[in-house]
Chains A and B, each alone.
Chain A
Amino acid sequence: MVDTKLEFLRGTLDVLILKALVWGPLHGYAITSLIRGHSDHALLLEEGTLYPALWRLQSKGLLAADWGLSENNRKAKFYRLTSEGRRQLHHEIKTWEAYATAVAKVLSAKEPSLSEVAK
């Protein structure tokens, strides 16, 4: 477990939500739990901020929602990925990986090569 709680980068939440729904429909509370669990409680998520993101993704057509019954037998709103959402997720993951690789390369550099800088 890392000590520092990490703030979300812009757009990160969206891709995490999409990813959380890959295995099937979930209600909002389950999504927060899932993100928290998978990040080993590293990602700081003010639970309420999840909802505006969900609604935004829904109105973009990336998610769809149905009312259903939760594990504790209550009426809850379940979100699921639309095919559009699934496409978007793949796209975002690729972008993330490219971005992370690039950032990692820079951070792991040993010494600046002068000839490189002069270029």
Chain B
Amino acid sequence: MIPTPMWRRYARFFGADPVADVDDELRFHLETKTEELIAQGWQPGEARKEAERQFGDLRMIRNVGKAFGQKDQKRKRFNDYWTDAQQDLRYTFRILLRDRGFAAISVLILALAIGANISVFSVVNSLLLRPLPFPESNRLVWIAPPPSECGLSCATYSADAYDEFRAGNRTFQDVTGYFAFSTADNLRLRGHGDPVPVTGLDVIGNFFQVLGVQPAMGRLFTADEGRKGSQPAVLLSNAFWKRQFAADPNIIGKPISLSGQAGELVTVVGVLPASFDFGAVFAPGTRIDVFTPLYLDQARDWGNIVTLIGRLKPHVTAAQALDDANRIAPDIYFNVKYPETKGRYKGDLIPVSLKDHVTGALRRSLIILWSAVGLILLIAGVNLSNLLLARSAARAKEFAIRSALGASRSRVVRQLLMESFVLSSAGAVLGIALAAILLRWLSHQGSLALPLLSSLRIDGHAAGWSVLIVTFTALLFGFLPGLRMSRVNHQEALKDSGQRAGLGRTHERLRSTLVVSEIALACVLLISAGLLLRSFLKVLDVDLGFRPDSAASIKFDYEDSAPTFEAAAAKRGAIFQQALTQISALPGVEAAGIADYLPLGPNRQWDEPAPQGKTFARGTLPSPLVYVVSPGFFRAMGIQFEGRDFTWADNLQSQRVVLINHSAARVYWPGESAVGKILMRGKEADHVIGVVNDVREEDVEAGTGSQIYYPATQQDPAGAQLVIRTSLPPASLATGILHILRALNPRQPAAEFRPLRTIVDRAVSPRRFFMMLVGAFASLGVLLAALGIYGIISYSVTQKTQEIGVRMALGATTGRVRRDVILSTLRLAAIGIVTGTVVSITSARLIASLLFGTSPWDMTTYLVMMLAILAVALMSGYLPARRASRVDPLAALRIQ
């Protein structure tokens, strides 16, 4: 056996060497055996040989030993590491428990920042990153004309256009759509007691097949059910089935009474899955209870009423789909079948991915929001870095002792990283809980007109994101102090008695830099939030054209079945007049009127009236939005008008009359009064009896186009919304008004008054939502920055207690001391604010598209926000300043 070289033995000082161990062990055995044999009288050489013979296959056994040794070694090393880590962890918990205040503040800051980040990530994930909840949803497209200002009618197609497009295209696997003009609570469910208002939607028979939605129970519509005269069928939404039918498992095949006006039995053929939420995708903030087949043949003369949604054939690109759509566009009757309108009525058909149609408009807002929470995370990280740095300064002695006892530099860094990791993990756990609460609340905000909200949840991606965030924050705010600590001169630290512990100026400079960057980041956030807030105020300040306050509306369900159009108009006029007369007589009612559509909701247009005696170039005449209203409507809405209102005497026997808005009047009769002029619609002459204010029709932030009002006594309204203006709370009038409506029509369902304000609130809710979130983040950022300032100033005051004491003993006044401290605060704040403002000015363009009536470089906002942050900085610097000025010179000197 070859003897072990000396260096191997030497090397064993540095830990176990499994190979050498095996050799040693076997060598001992052989040597002892040899000696024993010699003692028995063997010759030394022979004895050695005999010992090896009795031992067996030495080389094989040695190899076995090596393998065991190495395995053992590995296990031991892992055990050691684990023991160390456990030790670090236990120590960390002990330290953090001792510094409870510090730990609580850190965890809270992190929880807020991480919670905000996970919430926003989940929103971004649900709205932008995750595909729509349909199979192969990337092949679904929304087909629409280029954006225009003529409302829903311009975004929809006629039944003929649908048929022609479906037959003529080559790139689509199938095309479907739905009736775009449905209104809330357009149906009644009757069975027991009061009829229940139900929102129904007519969809083209293949709607669910094209989307790829499978029923939870029963079946989808058959091709036959899209024809008039077939057995009426209905599909229930999952929520409605649960709510109204207590999730009855035997509902399929049952007839239910579901109708608009005349009583009608329809058969439930299926229940849709809970995962299908029509409103979430196609009409944010609305709820659809039931789906019925759209009778295309009957709809043929209704003009533009259906949306177009297509599913592309596999492997078809967007460009191919666009070419295909443009190719067939000229052959399509875009409106009803008048030969002269063929291929003329609208521009192109543009297929866009359904996902873009649903969430495209929100992309920028969400990215801004995401950046804002990213800034919050940075600020929180910087803040904690600062806190840890201050704390590590106080712990310099502890680290000095540890390193004197043999802790390596990496061990010190590891300890600090462990602490920051424990803190961020705790912050993350709390943050996820906060985010879950916030998301739960958000996803139940029915009034928030944002798509896909109901699908908000913390999923695997969000969890992964939070792990990323925790790692990032742990490194960000643990590494810097760790690095600084490991560089500290420990001898100095041990010698020094006080808290200053040999850290000195560079340390303070680092902390100041951190605070300055914190203020700068907060400043950027605050200025963006300020710009958004100003935009929001501008939006609220928009002249809507009507006065939403002190007015409310309720759906009026009247019975107007009559053999002829004339008879129906007469009957309707009588019912409206009776209802409005009685309601106006109620105490507290100032005005009452009826219209089929209200502003900021669905709308439509009919055709292109032309002023009598004038010629316009083709295509230059507007196609106004159409409202059919009763006398009194304008006063009830608070819409100002000149000329006269409709009266009950304006009926089919009298002259045809209309009111138009200022925009229309300017186009038809520029520079002249429109009152008394005549508008021609085909052969019919409509006398303009008044001009009304422009009313915001679709969106508070968009401009208004031409609008035209017809009397409900001469035109057929699509429905009836009763509007009342009252000085009393509308709810107090509900009983009286419902009583009157019931007397006129026993089928009138119990409905609630909707204050007009809610219509406006809903319309501005996305902007309010974003503004509130960005505002909240900005406040959080400012709060964190204030904490940062407070932290560093009070820390430096503590450090300079002796210096201040000496100065005061030498005659410095308290005012002077206080001023010095405040000045140093101001210096930090000023640098931060200037940096932040410069960054804001250069980056403001990014949020320009989110602003309304506000310049991205709006001076007022910048000044106000800069002053605000300066004030916050002063406040957080004031407390330490006051403490500094109260230093007792004698006490301070005695410390030394």
Chain A residues within CB distance 8 Å of chain B: 27-29, 46-49, 51-52, 55-56, 58-59, 70, 72, 74-77
| B:50-68 near A, CB below 8 Å | 54-58, 61, 64-65, 68
Q: How far is the CA of A48 from the CA of B31 in the complex (A)?
A: 13
**Across the interface, do B56 and A49 meet the contact criterion of CB distance under 8 Å?**
yes
**Across the interface, do A27 and B65 meet the contact criterion of CB distance under 8 Å?**
no
Contact of A46 (CB < 8 Å), options: B29, B33, B56: B56
- B323 sits at the interface (CB 8 A): no
Q: How far is the CA of A27 from the CA of B64 in the complex (A)?
A: 18
Q: How far is the CA of A55 from the CA of B18 in the complex (A)?
A: 12
**Across the interface, do A56 and B56 meet the contact criterion of CB distance under 8 Å?**
no
**Across the interface, do B24 and A77 meet the contact criterion of CB distance under 8 Å?**
yes
- B82 sits at the interface (CB 8 A): no
Q: Which residues of B contact A47 (CB under 8 A)?
A: 29, 33, 54-56
**Across the interface, do B32 and A72 meet the contact criterion of CB distance under 8 Å?**
yes
Q: Which residues of A contact B58 (CB under 8 A)?
A: 48
Those 10 A-B pairs whose CB atoms lie nearest each other, nearest first: A48-B56, A55-B68, A46-B56, A48-B55, A48-B61, A77-B25, A76-B28, A52-B64, A29-B32, A29-B29
Q: How far is the CA of A76 from the CA of B26 in the complex (A)?
A: 9
Q: How far is the CA of A59 from the CA of B74 in the complex (A)?
A: 12
* 6 pairs, CB–CB < 8 Å, chain A vs chain B: A28-B28, A28-B29, A51-B29, A56-B68, A76-B28, A77-B24
- B21 sits at the interface (CB 8 A): yes
Q: Which residues of A contact B72 (CB under 8 A)?
A: 58-59
- Shortest distance between the CB of A119 and any CB in chain B (Å): 48
- B560 sits at the interface (CB 8 A): no
CB-based nearest B residue for A47? B55
CB-based nearest B residue for A52? B64
**Across the interface, do B28 and A29 meet the contact criterion of CB distance under 8 Å?**
yes
Q: Which residues of B contact A27 (CB under 8 A)?
A: 28-29
**Across the interface, do B29 and A55 meet the contact criterion of CB distance under 8 Å?**
no
**Across the interface, do B65 and A46 meet the contact criterion of CB distance under 8 Å?**
no
- B71 sits at the interface (CB 8 A): yes
- Shortest distance between the CB of B384 and any CB in chain A (Å): 44
CB-based nearest B residue for A55? B68
CB-based nearest A residue for B35? A72
- Shortest distance between the CB of A78 and any CB in chain B (Å): 10
Assuming A29-B29, A72-B35, is B24 touching A48 (CB within 8 A)? no
Q: Which residues of A contact B33 (CB under 8 A)?
A: 29, 47
Given contacts A48-B58, A49-B56, list 18 more A-B pairs with CB under 8 A.
A27-B28, A27-B29, A28-B28, A28-B29, A48-B57, A52-B64, A52-B65, A52-B68, A55-B68, A55-B69, A56-B68, A58-B68, A59-B72, A70-B28, A74-B28, A76-B25, A76-B28, A77-B24
- Shortest distance between the CB of B894 and any CB in chain A (Å): 57
Q: How far is the CA of A74 from the CA of B55 in the complex (A)?
A: 19
**Across the interface, do A59 and B68 meet the contact criterion of CB distance under 8 Å?**
yes
Q: How far is the CA of A77 from the CA of B69 in the complex (A)?
A: 13
**Across the interface, do B35 and A28 meet the contact criterion of CB distance under 8 Å?**
no
Q: Which residues of A contact B26 (CB under 8 A)?
A: 51
- Shortest distance between the CB of A47 and any CB in chain B (Å): 5
**Across the interface, do A55 and B32 meet the contact criterion of CB distance under 8 Å?**
no
Q: How far is the CA of A70 from the CA of B21 in the complex (A)?
A: 16
**Across the interface, do B71 and A51 meet the contact criterion of CB distance under 8 Å?**
no
**Interface core residue of B29, B35, B71, B72 (most chain A CB under 10 Å):** B29
- Shortest distance between the CB of B61 and any CB in chain A (Å): 5
Q: Which residues of A contact B21 (CB under 8 A)?
A: 77
**Across the interface, do A75 and B24 meet the contact criterion of CB distance under 8 Å?**
yes
**Interface core residue of B32, B58, B64 (most chain A CB under 10 Å):** B32
Q: How far is the CA of A76 from the CA of B72 in the complex (A)?
A: 19
CB-based nearest B residue for A48? B56
Assuming A27-B28, A28-B25, A28-B29, is B56 touching A55 (CB within 8 A)? no
Q: Which residues of B contact A56 (CB under 8 A)?
A: 68
**Across the interface, do B28 and A77 meet the contact criterion of CB distance under 8 Å?**
yes
Q: Which residues of B contact A59 (CB under 8 A)?
A: 68, 71-72
| B:2-39 near A, CB below 8 Å | 21, 24-26, 28-29, 31-33, 35
Q: Which residues of A contact B69 (CB under 8 A)?
A: 55
**Across the interface, do A51 and B61 meet the contact criterion of CB distance under 8 Å?**
yes
CB-based nearest A residue for B28? A76
**Across the interface, do B31 and A74 meet the contact criterion of CB distance under 8 Å?**
yes
Q: Which residues of B contact A77 (CB under 8 A)?
A: 21, 24-25, 28
Q: Which residues of A contact B57 (CB under 8 A)?
A: 48
Q: How far is the CA of A107 from the CA of B123 in the complex (A)?
A: 81
Q: Which residues of A contact B25 (CB under 8 A)?
A: 28, 51, 76-77
- Shortest distance between the CB of A80 and any CB in chain B (Å): 15
CB-based nearest B residue for A30? B32
CB-based nearest B residue for A45? B54
- Shortest distance between the CB of B238 and any CB in chain A (Å): 58
- Shortest distance between the CB of B23 and any CB in chain A (Å): 11
- Shortest distance between the CB of A29 and any CB in chain B (Å): 5
Q: How far is the CA of A51 from the CA of B606 in the complex (A)?
A: 100
Q: How far is the CA of A64 from the CA of B64 in the complex (A)?
A: 18
**Across the interface, do A55 and B55 meet the contact criterion of CB distance under 8 Å?**
no
